[in-house]
Chain A
Amino acid sequence: MPSLRDIRNRIGSVKSTRQITKAMKMVSAAKLRRAQDAILKTRPYAQLLEQTLARVAARAAADEVVAHPLLAPRVQHTAEVVVITSDRGLAGGFNSNIARRTQRFLVENTDRFERVQLATVGRKGRDFFRARKVEVRKDFTGVNAALTYEKAEDLAREYTERYLSGEVDAVFLAYNEFKSAISQKPVVFQLLPIETAPGADASGAAIDFKYEPSREGLLRDLLPRHVAMQVWRALLESAASEHGARMSAMESATKNAEEMIASLTLQYNRARQAYVTKELMEIVSGAEALK
């Protein structure tokens, strides 16, 4: 049976753990709010960009749009999956879920592509695949540290160029989609070629715009921004998911710590009671002996 002092020490240590998990939960909650806010702020641009794309595309003949290389599917030999994870752990299943989802994607698509390469954003993803001896072609570290649109743009540009040069024939993003603070869904999204061709916008089709430089020129400029926006959205969703996942993980860790403290305290009190009883017995029997 553990001594009183042992139990007291354990209670102390669990208490300080609880303090840490509680603090982490609160920090995550604040970061989550900010990340959600960032997602909301991108909405006006995203919506207007899609609308503009639809307007430009609506005016173009169907075959004209499809002819754009970013939209045209081709024989797919080489694919690349960009796995978006976090730099830090203690976020519940956040990183392992997306890593496992990626592995499943690789298994499912062995027949579809001759070769599938991996790239990672975030330290956890890189470490996961390295530990399993899976080759990671490129590691984008530092993207998560300070998330800016420019980084999303750079990443999108790199893949657009590699796609256009024929180095890769398809690019996928694997990330945690943000559902709510307590729920994230690992998804694999096709970035290139652009799968969902911008649909015709009925309201825009009625307006006879004058285009400068030309409709084709505008389309050529708009599509890379569309790609960058998809990357940006994925990065932001992943960030919000990360904080949400960490918040829930820390919440349950705090709850577990509290339960543990309660049961340890009970054990402590019992042990103390037993000790007091034993002492009393000794005193009483000592006094009896003197009679």
Chain B
Amino acid sequence: MALTLDIVTPERRVLSVAADEVRAPGVAGGFGIRLNHEPFMTALEPGRLTYVEGGREHHYAVGGGFLQVADNRVIVLADTAEAAADIDVERAKRAFDEAQDRLLRLTEQDGHYAEESARVRRAAARLSVAGR
């Protein structure tokens, strides 16, 4: 008996696997899910999502979204999701630098500030997941 984990994004189904444990970056802090977790629904921050299967850890960079668990079924609705191995570190670094540059030119009053800062956080999450 194990959890089933589904990660879907608007562009495709990223993952559908069995997992022993799932760790995710919730808006109220990171959390882990194991068998028979209570029904739970949360918004996700951009960050690292990890699942453990047969003692092996698999890492994904998610760009925010939602996670729900009920009846040992974990469903992640991610805005973006990439396996750590698929991320090009060089490009992730460049994207992060560019996003940061753009953000630095804005003031907090700017209408696009929230949007751009979310972009920076997403880029940072990708970079940190790729780095390992």
List chain A positions with a Cβ less than 8 A from chain B.
Answer: 38, 41-42, 44-46, 48-49, 52, 55-56, 148-149, 152-153, 157, 161, 207-213, 217-218, 221-222, 225, 228-229, 232
Assess whether B70 is interfacial by the CB under 8 Å rule: yes
User: Would B11 and A212 count as touching, CB distance under 8 A?
Assistant: no
Q: Inside 8 A of A48's CB, which chain B residues have their CB?
A: 6, 8, 75, 77
Give bound CA distance, A210 to B42, whole Å: 8
1/0 contact string of B69-93 vs chain A (CB within 8 Å): 0100001010100000000000000
The answer to whether residues A222 and B66 also contact, given A41-B12, A209-B40 and a CB cut-off of 8 A, is: yes
Give bound CA distance, A148 to B11, whole Å: 8
User: Would A218 and B41 count as touching, CB distance under 8 A?
Assistant: yes
**Residue from the list A149, A153, A218, A229 in contact with B66, Cβ < 8 A:** A218
Smallest CB separation, A236 vs chain B (Å)? 10
User: Would A212 and B40 count as touching, CB distance under 8 A?
Assistant: yes
User: Would B77 and A217 count as touching, CB distance under 8 A?
Assistant: no
**Residue from the list A42, A52, A218 in contact with B11, Cβ < 8 A:** A42
Q: Inside 8 A of A228's CB, which chain B residues have their CB?
A: 10
Residue of A nearest to B40 (CB): A210
Give bound CA distance, A213 to B42, whole Å: 7
Smallest CB separation, A217 vs chain B (Å)? 7
User: Would B43 and A212 count as touching, CB distance under 8 A?
Assistant: yes
Apart from A209-B41, A210-B40, A218-B66, list 5 A-B contacts with CB within 8 A: A208-B39, A210-B39, A213-B28, A221-B43, A225-B77
List chain B positions with a Cβ less than 8 A from chain A.
Answer: 6, 8-13, 26-28, 38-43, 66, 68, 70, 75, 77, 79, 111, 115
**Residue from the list A52, A56, A161, A212 in contact with B111, Cβ < 8 A:** A161
Q: Inside 8 A of A232's CB, which chain B residues have their CB?
A: 10
Which label, helix, strand, loop or mixed, suits the secondary structure of the B interface?
A: strand
User: Would A45 and B43 count as touching, CB distance under 8 A?
Assistant: no
User: Would B68 and A209 count as touching, CB distance under 8 A?
Assistant: yes
User: Would B70 and A207 count as touching, CB distance under 8 A?
Assistant: yes
**Residue from the list A44, A52, A149, A217 in contact with B68, Cβ < 8 A:** A52
User: Would A229 and B10 count as touching, CB distance under 8 A?
Assistant: yes
14 residue pairs of the A-B complex, CB under 8 angstroms, read: A48-B75, A52-B68, A148-B11, A153-B79, A157-B115, A208-B39, A209-B40, A209-B41, A212-B27, A212-B42, A213-B43, A221-B66, A225-B77, A225-B79
Q: Inside 8 A of B41's CB, which chain A residues have their CB?
A: 52, 55-56, 209-212, 218
Smallest CB separation, B25 vs chain A (Å)? 12
Q: Inside 8 A of B66's CB, which chain A residues have their CB?
A: 52, 218, 221-222
Q: Inside 8 A of A38's CB, which chain B residues have their CB?
A: 11
Q: Inside 8 A of A49's CB, which chain B residues have their CB?
A: 77
Give bound CA distance, A56 to B28, whole Å: 18
Residue of A nearest to B16 (CB): A44
Residue of A nearest to B26 (CB): A212
Give bound CA distance, A218 to B54, whole Å: 33
Smallest CB separation, A67 vs chain B (Å)? 20
Give bound CA distance, A211 to B40, whole Å: 6
Q: Inside 8 A of B6's CB, which chain A residues have their CB?
A: 44, 48
The answer to whether residues A218 and B43 also contact, given A161-B111, A212-B28 and a CB cut-off of 8 A, is: yes
Smallest CB separation, B120 vs chain A (Å)? 15
Give bound CA distance, A52 to B68, whole Å: 8
Q: Inside 8 A of A207's CB, which chain B residues have their CB?
A: 39, 70
Q: Inside 8 A of B39's CB, which chain A residues have their CB?
A: 207-210
Smallest CB separation, A167 vs chain B (Å)? 12
Q: Inside 8 A of A210's CB, which chain B residues have their CB?
A: 38-41
Residue of B nearest to A47 (CB): B8
Smallest CB separation, A223 vs chain B (Å)? 12
User: Would B28 and A149 count as touching, CB distance under 8 A?
Assistant: no
Smallest CB separation, B87 vs chain A (Å)? 17
Give bound CA distance, A41 to B9, whole Å: 9
The answer to whether residues A45 and B42 also contact, given A207-B70, A209-B68, A213-B27 and a CB cut-off of 8 A, is: no
